[in-house]
Amino acid sequence: MDRLDVYPLQRMTADTEPAHWSAYTPPTNGDRERWTVTTPVRLWLPGVALLDVVGDGWECDRGGWVDVSPGYWWDGASGPAIDDPQAVMASIVHDIVCTPVHCLGQRTHPLPSYLGRHALYRRILRANGAAWGRAWYSWAALVAANWWVDAGSDGECEP
């Protein structure tokens, strides 16, 4: 199966919208909603300082590439957000860069900067056509929610 290259920091096209490479499962019986990658996807984040790390169903490299395997799932946009294509695209990247990993014997993230992880969500929303106010509101809500959830912890965002 061919891999689909997606550039989330550029405006989506019909073949790069999440509906083309993922499937949505609505919440049932108290379970959260779920988005699942259905075809191999390679996300390119030029200029983003990623580490060379491997996660469960994905891997990143310093060139800004994130390879995501079919079967990887995430819960879409969290909080008071609408799972439109802009938010779904931003949420898969955000969930991956917020996943704790071990690199060189230390616990870290594919994108080590806490604020950088959240700012990337905002940048992807804007690159894909979200209004300025929506992108900033979403960013502020994301930072606040993660700060609240992680109060007293080591300041890590939850995947």
**27 confidence band (pLDDT: 50, 70, 90):** confident
Region 75-102: what's the mean pLDDT? Answer: 85
53: containing domain = 4-148
d(CA 7, CA 18) in angstroms, rounded, equals 12
**155 confidence band (pLDDT: 50, 70, 90):** very low
**102 inside domain:** yes
Query: Is residue 9 within 8 Å of 124, Cβ to Cβ?
Result: yes
Q: What is the per-residue pLDDT across 50-70, written as a single tens digit (0 to 9) for each?
A: 999 999 999 999 999 999 999
d(CA 18, CA 89) in angstroms, rounded, equals 6
Q: Which helix (H) or strand (E) holds 6?
A: strand 4-6
**109 inside domain:** yes
Q: Look up the pTM and report it.
A: 0.87
**144 inside domain:** yes
d(CA 75, CA 55) in angstroms, rounded, equals 16
Phi/psi for 116 (5° steps) reads -65, -35
**99 inside domain:** yes
d(CA 47, CA 123) in angstroms, rounded, equals 12
**154 inside domain:** no
**53 inside domain:** yes
Q: Which of 41, 132, 19 is nearest to 85 (CA)?
A: 19
* Residue 55: strand, helix, or coil: strand
Number of domains within the chain: 1
**155 inside domain:** no
